[in-house]
Amino acid sequence: MLQYTIRRLLSLVPVMLIVSIIVFMIVHLTPGNPAFLILGEDASAESVAQLEQQLGLDKPIVVQFFDWLKNIVTGDLGQSVYSSEQVKTIIASHIGPTFSVTLLAIFIILLIAIPVALFAVWQRKTLLDPIFISVSLLGVSIPEFWFAMLLVLGFAVTIPIFPVAGYIPFAEGWFEWLYHLILPAFVLAAVEIGLVARMLRDGMLEAVNQDYTRTARAKGIRESVVLMKHVFSNALIPTATVIGVMIAGLLGGAIIIETMFTIPGMGSLLIDSIHRRDYPVIQGVILFIAAIYVLVNLCVDLLYAFLDPRIRYD
Amino acid sequence: MHKKVRYPFILFIISLLSIVGLAGCSDAGTNDAVKDTKNEAAGEPVTSGTLEVAIASDPDTIDWMYTGATVTRDVGWHIFETLFALDKDFATKPMIAEGFETNDEGTVYTIKLRDDVKFHNGSVVTADDVVASLERWRKVSAVGGIAGNYIEDVKVISDVELEIKLNEPYSSLLADMSAPKQALMIIPAEIAEEAGEQPLVPEQLIGTGPYQFEKWERGNEILLTRFDDYAAREETDWGGLTGEKIAYYEELKFLIVKDPQVRVNGLKTGLYDYAENISPDLYEVLESTPNIDLVTYMNGYSTVIFDKSEAPFDDLKVRQALNHALDKKTIAAATYGNEQFYSFDGALFVPEQTALYSDKGFDQYLAFDQEKAKSLLEASNYNGEPITIMYSNNSENYKKISQIAKQQLEEVGFQVKLDPYEWATYLERWQDPANWDLVVVGWSTRFSPNELGMLGLGTASSGWYDSEQWADSVARWGVVETEEQKKEVLTEMNQIVNDELPFLKVANETRLDIKSNKITYDSWLGQRHWNTWKNE
């Protein structure tokens, strides 16, 4: 297990290297120049050239790449073109909001998806099953931005229960934190609940007619216990995979939701940096997201062994 | 055995969902619970509280000297002040300065400072600070660079007195020094020297304004607090950026809210007190919303700029043909919608800028005549090659202008290709004449002929304009003495643009902001949150 973990962690290195090369290429091949953006439309050619020199943008691109790579290896992600703040500091200050909203969304997803899926399997022979399928399909198909607008209009403007936007850090009071995050977290969750519930239901339906389930029932165990103990736990592996990918995706920042609710998280950081051509920040954020993907997937793989004792990594 | 309760339960869920849906679709303005009387009486000023302002973008820097960006200006002028500043009629008045004297030739300016003006770090403003700020202004500011060409020497006479010696008479010196764009803001000498040609970092944001910089969470909020030692002037009737300024709020919080719908919803629900840059399309809806007041002010004008460095627009006839081909009234009506938000005037400055406005010299401004356009085009060097209109798709207005212009140009025989880009790409492509023939873009309000970026000789922003007449005229502007001479030069400038057509002016633009009806506020240009308060 330990050996496996180390091997997987080492595989991070080539992945990150490939990601960094691709990101650097894409970012620098995109037209646009931060010097023009900073100085505005009526800047003189001299002042643009001078600023480019200050920012190191006048060097050949290969030189810029190796300079950057050299710093990355030593753990230095560089400085923002705009604020001259360290990219590390900038990422650290944006991870909190994204982490909060992800955490809450996952909590809502599990809170709703698990009971709903269990209920659907329990009532699998009734009319509830096709209704469950349609509703979950509807959930998956709802466009996030539309649902967010609807919720804001309904529960923030017309009936002002929740704030329309904004983010309060946890440190400034847990209630305000939660209060501001409920709507965005719910929107993020709504799209995923259907998916997770469907995965769970399908996994359970497969297990529900297996020999071991029938044996359990034949022993006279109550249906609810059979469902929880024998059916549910066997459906967890595919669901864990889906949730893993979901967490990684959410931690990378939900651009639309963060913009609509003005949450200063990773998603809005990324989109702002792209508009500003803040190269070091874009590169840093994407590397960070790539690392999260790899690490979350590793955690999910390790979780398999815990969920299913038959799985061994030695 | 659960079957009996199930269907009512499902019905209940469905009806709940439809209620939410219907509530979402209904007109939010019908909410009677928050009805308040509009334009509530100003009442006694309230000296407390936090003003929450939703701004549309995060500034790149709050260094008001370094960049001409509007968002930098709107935050910056709460923190910083200039030696001289514009009053409500856009005339130059002293601000940090007490007054000035010139010699008879107009080549030596002796400026006296008020002796009680304090920086936010507690030190008193001295002539040394002014000299250092002036030095930096000449280096980093485009306006400062132009004025700097005339400055031979700056000398400290005493703590509160300095002398500026010019190499030749330059009568717009004070106007340039009071221009609220890349402004000559006064900062402590050590900061001016330390920063040099770099933009000020947050720790260096030390000015003399009624509010001081507290913190900046990038992408989220900028917080200013009241400066208790602020030395206010006494003139209550000057307005604009000078005269008496009172900071009624304890805190000024600029929240960065990019989504325009969120700015409107936030104001409706009381999350914000003031929100900038609202689409004029919402004018009618917002006007009837009970707790919202509208704030409007001039915001420059929209233009079409020609690439005059190569065919076909190096030929004046082709430019004239284009001027006759465009029906600006149709374009503006379709672009801006409500008549409150545009006006037709061909001058280089807008009528509110009384000191800079001349109402003569633009008889070709509204010269829509398709037949004439066709005959001019016939007689020109244009041979049917497709012309490229480039614009930024970040702006709905310039997109619309481009699209309608294309249609109107094709009616008289131009071949037109539209080329939209995202803002950053667009700015870069603008630098190369091979990329475009026409650019559609807006220019914020300018305060001196030197600041008219669309007429900067030989630059990409002017489409490589080259004109001896314009250069002469700008030089003459530097030595005008009387108001009459000023008007003469301004008329002449209008006339040159009218005759040479380096660019086309489409229409003057008015901007829409919104505020809570609890705020007592006096609109001028941009947003200024001194002398305003929130009624409880």
Specify whether A67 is located in the same domain as A157: no
Total domains present in chain A: 2
- Among A112, A235, A217, A103, smallest CA distance to A170 is for A103
Smallest Cα distance from A106 to chain B, Å: 23
Smallest Cα distance from B68 to chain A, Å: 7
Smallest Cα distance from B377 to chain A, Å: 31
Are residues A32 and B422, on separate chains, in Cβ contact within 8 Å? yes
pLDDT, residue B412, reads: 94
Total domains present in chain B: 1
d(CA A164, CA A184): 10
Specify whether A144 is located in the same domain as A24: no
User: Domain range holding B328?
Assistant: 298-511
Are residues B269 and A33, on separate chains, in Cβ contact within 8 Å? no
Are residues B218 and A150, on separate chains, in Cβ contact within 8 Å? no
Q: Identify the CATH number of the domain in which residue B433 sits.
A: 3.10.105.10
pLDDT, residue A112, reads: 94
pLDDT, residue B163, reads: 95
Q: Residues 6 or more apart from A281 whose CB is under 8 A from it?
A: A80, A81, A87, A90, A269, A273
d(CA A128, CA A120): 7
Model's pTM, two decimal places?
Answer: 0.86
Smallest Cα distance from B382 to chain A, Å: 29
Taken in order B314, B317, B323, B326, is the CA torsion positive or negative?
negative
Chain B touched by A256 (CB under 8 Å): no
Are residues A158 and B24, on separate chains, in Cβ contact within 8 Å? yes
More confident residue, A4 or B517: B517
Distance of CA B311 to the CA centre of its chain: 33
Digit-coded pLDDT (tens) for B23-42: 433 333 333 333 333 344 45
Average pLDDT rounded to a whole number, residues B131-153: 92
3-state secondary structure B308-366: CCCCCCCCHHHHHHHHHHCCHHHHHHHHHCCHHHEECCCCCCCCCCCCCCCCCCCCCCC
Smallest Cα distance from B102 to chain A, Å: 32
d(CA B40, CA B59): 33
Best of B60, B390, B454 to substitute, by most chain A Cβ atoms within 10 angstroms, is: B60
Question: For tokens 């769970």, what's the residue?
Answer: A200
Are residues A36 and B424, on separate chains, in Cβ contact within 8 Å? yes
Q: How confident is the model at residue B337 (pLDDT cuts 50, 70, 90)?
A: confident
Average pLDDT rounded to a whole number, residues B63-68: 91
Q: Does A102 score more than 60 pLDDT?
A: yes
Q: Does A122 score more than 80 pLDDT?
A: yes
Q: Which of A47, A73, A99 finishes a domain?
A: A73
Give CA angle at B252 (B251, B258), nearest 5°: 145
Q: Which helix (H) or strand (E) holds B274?
A: strand B274-275
Q: Does residue B201 belong to any structural domain of this protein?
A: no
| C-alpha gyration radius of chain A | 24
For chain A, positions 31-60, list CB contacts with chain B under 8 A.
Answer: 31-34, 36-45, 47, 50, 54
d(CA B393, CA B398): 8
Average pLDDT rounded to a whole number, residues B6-20: 47
Q: Contact at 8 Å (CB) between A37 and A52? A: no
pLDDT, residue A314, reads: 65
Q: Does residue B94 belong to any structural domain of this protein?
A: no
Average pLDDT rounded to a whole number, residues B318-342: 94
pLDDT, residue B42, reads: 57
- What length does chain B have? 536
Specify whether A127 is located in the same domain as A273: yes
Average pLDDT rounded to a whole number, residues A104-118: 93
d(CA B462, CA B453): 6
Q: How many helices (H) and strands (E) does chain B have?
A: 15, 19
Q: Identify the CATH number of the domain in which residue A169 sits.
A: 1.10.3720.10
More confident residue, B451 or B313: B313
Mean pLDDT of chain B: 89
Q: Does residue B182 belong to any structural domain of this protein?
A: no
pLDDT, residue B497, reads: 96
Smallest Cα distance from B158 to chain A, Å: 34
Predicted-complex ipTM score: 0.83
Of B58, B429, B461, which is closest to A42 when you measure between CB atoms? Answer: B461
Digit-coded pLDDT (tens) for B385-415: 999 999 998 888 999 999 999 999 999 999 9
Are residues A154 and B28, on separate chains, in Cβ contact within 8 Å? no
Of B259, B266, B459, which is closest to A259 when you measure between CB atoms? Answer: B259
d(CA B81, CA B99): 15
Specify whether A154 is located in the same domain as A185: yes
Q: Does residue B34 belong to any structural domain of this protein?
A: no
Q: Does residue A79 belong to any structural domain of this protein?
A: no
d(CA A88, CA B210): 34
pLDDT, residue B37, reads: 34
pLDDT, residue B309, reads: 95
pLDDT, residue B20, reads: 44
Mean pLDDT of chain A: 88
Digit-coded pLDDT (tens) for A201-256: 988 988 888 888 889 888 988 888 888 888 888 888 888 888 998 898 888 778 88
Average pLDDT rounded to a whole number, residues A299-313: 83
Specify whether A157 is located in the same domain as A289: yes
Q: How confident is the model at residue A48 (pLDDT cuts 50, 70, 90)?
A: confident
More confident residue, B441 or B12: B441
Specify whether A67 is located in the same domain as A110: no
**Ramachandran bin of A56, using left for φ above 0, alpha for ψ from -120 to 50, beta for the remaining angles:** left
Are residues A85 and B218, on separate chains, in Cβ contact within 8 Å? yes
Q: Does residue A45 belong to any structural domain of this protein?
A: yes
pLDDT, residue A227, reads: 85
Specify whether A142 is located in the same domain as A25: no
Are residues B219 and A83, on separate chains, in Cβ contact within 8 Å? no
Q: What is the DSSP string of B468-505?
A: HHHHHHHHHHTT--SHHHHHHHHHHHHHHHHHH-SEEE
State both tokens at B392: 């930024």
Q: Which residue stretches of B26-94 are H helix?
A: 70-79
Neighbours of B408 (CB within 10 A): 20
d(CA B187, CA B137): 11
Q: Does residue B411 belong to any structural domain of this protein?
A: yes
Average pLDDT rounded to a whole number, residues B437-464: 91
The residue in chain A having the minimum alpha-carbon distance to the alpha carbon of residue B60 is: A82
Specify whether A252 is located in the same domain as A156: yes
Are residues A262 and B256, on separate chains, in Cβ contact within 8 Å? yes
Q: Does residue A78 belong to any structural domain of this protein?
A: no
- Residue A74: φ, ψ to 5°: -85, 10
Specify whether A16 is located in the same domain as A126: no
Q: Contact at 8 Å (CB) between B165 and B208? A: no
Q: Residues 6 or more apart from B300 whose CB is under 8 A from it?
A: B350, B442, B443, B444, B445, B446, B508, B509
The residue in chain A having the minimum alpha-carbon distance to the alpha carbon of residue B70 is: A40
User: Domain range holding A165?
Assistant: 88-307
The residue in chain B having the minimum alpha-carbon distance to the alpha carbon of residue A277 is: B424
Q: Taking CB atoms and an 8 Å cutoff, what residues of chain B touch A162?
A: none
